[in-house]
Structure 1
Amino acid sequence: MRPANSPLSPDAGARIDQYLAGLGLGFNPALLRRERSDQIARLEALSDRALLARGLHRRDIPRHVFRDLFP
């Protein structure tokens, strides 16, 4: 079950949390996550085949979405 105010599935949310935690950020990334959740949700809605056509695996979505901030 996802929170009422989030377009993300629990799995997508967990992948984002794991990615951001792995960066060892010294701040709370909640604002960044909220700002990009629509983009993440659009990518999560694609089939695995459509993601592969873009050169992505589902596990790569957080890195792809935040690539401008955390190369």
Structure 2
Amino acid sequence: MDRDGNLNLAFVPPIDPLIDEFLAGVGFGFNPGAMRRACRREALKLNARSDAQLALFGITRDQIPAYVLRRQLPGHAPDLRLAA
């Protein structure tokens, strides 16, 4: 809510297509449901953050799936370089 009392809502793109695209890109011919469900909660929380907040984690919005699956798929984890 701004100073004038107006509610400002930001559009947040859905995270599920990004997860699907990431898993397909790392070589899964199908979407492993258990892996997708395991990362979805954290992905939704990150997706609700602003781009500036994501930058504090060292990621961009399109890197959320790789970030939340970094433990299961370490070879595809994003390069986390925190901004100074």
Higher relative contact order (Cα pairs below 8 Å, separated by 6+ residues): 1
5+ residue gaps, structure 2:
1-11, 75-84
1:52 aligned residue (29, 52, 55): 55
Give the TM-score of the pair, scaled to structure 2.
0.66
1:40 aligned residue (19, 39, 43): 43
Cα distance in 1 for partners of 2:63, 2:29 equals 22
5+ residue gaps, structure 1:
1-8
Runs of 4+ that moved beyond 4 A? none
Larger Rg: 2
Deviation at 1:27, TM superposition (A): 5.9
Give the TM-score of the pair, scaled to structure 1.
0.77
Q: Which has the higher helix share?
A: 1
Cα distance in 1 for partners of 2:53, 2:37 equals 24
The share of aligned pairs that are identical, in percent, is: 40
**1:34-62 deviation per Cα after TM superposition (whole angstroms, max 9, x unaligned):** 12211000000100000011111001000
Number of matched pairs:
63
Cα distance in 1 for partners of 2:35, 2:23 equals 10
Aligned Cα root-mean-square deviation (Å):
1.8
Instruction: Quote the residue 1:11 is aligned against.
Output: 14
